[in-house]
């Protein structure tokens, strides 16, 4: 992960802070680390609005006391299907303008919202469970949607949401989804140089505050609890959501999951790749 100078300085600050806090109170340190784990470091609040977003109907609703903002595009085809686009951590809906255009070209209605703490939406923190609850609220308020395109943390959030929605007619596209939260924590701990012994306190904090062990927060677990058609696209060079986490699921060869492997695209280029975009459109049009 490439960091700016400012981000590197902030990272050094947190490394020092957590080392000191861990010695004074591991429990307080764990709570502070967990809060940071849920905090986006890029918001794109000042990002320039792509031209296609100027043509959208502006939507907003209150979620967990925060204003969530989004966009809606309606095609001129009667009984057109609706697709919801969900961006990943440290991203925003603007970064999926190409998908909006492709969907409209193929006569879909489109919904796209900024998650809490991202883009034009309010809030400071985001995790997959909160994101899933937001998706359920969008489904109830603006749906039903016929399909969801989700990248990164939104992929995990979508699997959690689908456990509750249980609509087998939906088509779900997971692009480089966060697969196992434990792997995300591994990466986070490595970045902050946190010790293995401190991991025990961190896992206990998750269990105490969330009510479930870290192993529960898994797309692999959740995707087995609904039967909607799933297109799962993952890159072998993904260093954010490791490809190896998907191998056991691939071996199960579940009939409703179509798994596609790419190489050389990593975690963020994958959703911008023209071939990947075509695969997504072909899947939604089937």
**Does residue 86 form part of some domain?**
yes
Q: Which of 61-70, 188-197, 277-286 is predicted with the least confidence, judged by mean pLDDT?
A: 188-197
Q: Does residue 210 form part of some domain?
A: no
Going by pLDDT thresholds of 50, 70 and 90, the confidence category of residue 76 is confident
Name, in order, each residue with C-beta under 8 angstroms of 120's C-beta and a sequence gap of 6 or more. Answer: 45, 69, 92, 114
Count other Cβ atoms within 10 Å, centred on residue 256.
13
203 located within any domain: no
Give the global pTM: 0.91
CATH number of the domain residue 88 falls in: 3.40.50.1820
Whole-Å CA distances, 15 to 24, 211, 269, 275: 15, 27, 29, 40
Q: Domain range spanning residue 88? A: 38-180+218-285
Q: Considering its fold, how many domains does the chain have in total?
A: 1
Q: Average of pLDDT values for 7-34?
A: 68
Per-residue pLDDT band at 109 (split at 50, 70, 90) = very high
Say if 271 falls within a structural domain.
yes
pLDDT band at 166 (very low <50, low <70, confident <90, very high): confident
- pLDDT surpassing 70 at residue 4: no
Q: What average pLDDT does this structure show over 192-202?
A: 87
Question: Which residues, other chains included, contact 121 with Cβ-Cβ below 8 Å and sequence gap of 6+?
Answer: 66, 67, 68, 69, 113, 114, 115
Cα angle for residues 286, 229, 232 (degrees, 5° grid): 95
**Residue 39 pLDDT > 50, yes or no?**
yes
Mean pLDDT, the chain, integer = 92
Split at pLDDT 50, 70, 90, the class of 87 is very high
Report d(CA 24, CA 30) in Å as an integer.
12
**Which pLDDT belongs to residue 8?**
59
Name the residue among 104, 106, 121, 127 with its Cα closest to residue 56. 104
The pair phi, psi for residue 49, each rounded to 5°, is -75, 120
Asked whether residue 234 is domain-assigned, the answer is yes
* Residue 204 placed within a domain: no
Which pLDDT does position 5 carry in this prediction? Answer: 45
What confidence tier does 200 reach under pLDDT thresholds 50, 70, 90? very high
For residue 7, tell me if it sits in a domain.
Answer: no
Mean pLDDT of 173-195: 93
User: For position 78, what pLDDT does the model report?
Assistant: 86
67 within some domain: yes
């Amino acid at each position: 992960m490439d960091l700016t100078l400012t981000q590197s300085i902030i990272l050094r600050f947190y490394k020092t802070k957590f080392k000191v806090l861990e010695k004074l109170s591991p429990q307080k340190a764990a709570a502070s680390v967990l809060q940071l784990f849920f905090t986006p470091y890029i918001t794109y609040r000042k990002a320039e609005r792509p031209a296609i977003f100027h043509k959208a109907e502006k939507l907003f609703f209150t979620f967990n006391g925060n204003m969530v903002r989004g966009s809606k595009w309606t095609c001129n085809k009667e009984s057109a299907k609706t697709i919801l686009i969900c961006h990943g951590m440290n991203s925003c809906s603007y970064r999926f303008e190409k998908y909006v255009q492709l969907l409209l070209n193929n006569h879909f209605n489109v919904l796209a919202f900024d998650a809490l703490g991202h883009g034009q939406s309010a809030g400071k923190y985001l995790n997959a469970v909160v994101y899933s609850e937001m998706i359920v609220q969008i489904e109830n308020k603006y749906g039903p949607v016929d399909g969801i395109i989700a990248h990164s943390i939104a992929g995990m959030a979508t699997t959690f949401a689908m456990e509750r929605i249980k609509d087998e007619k939906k088509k779900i596209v997971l692009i480089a989804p966060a697969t196992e939260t434990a792997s995300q924590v591994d990466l986070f701990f490595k970045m902050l140089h946190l010790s293995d012994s401190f991991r025990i306190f961190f896992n206990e904090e998750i269990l105490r505050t969330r009510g479930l062990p870290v192993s529960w927060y898994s797309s692999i677990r959740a995707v087995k609890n609904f039967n909607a058609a799933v297109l799962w696209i993952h890159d072998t060079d993904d260093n954010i959501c490791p490809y190896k986490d998907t191998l056991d699921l691939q071996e199960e060869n579940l009939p409703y999951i179509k798994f596609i492997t790419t190489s050389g695209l990593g975690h963020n280029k994958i959703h911008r790749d023209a071939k990947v975009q075509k695969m997504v459109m072909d899947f939604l049009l089937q």
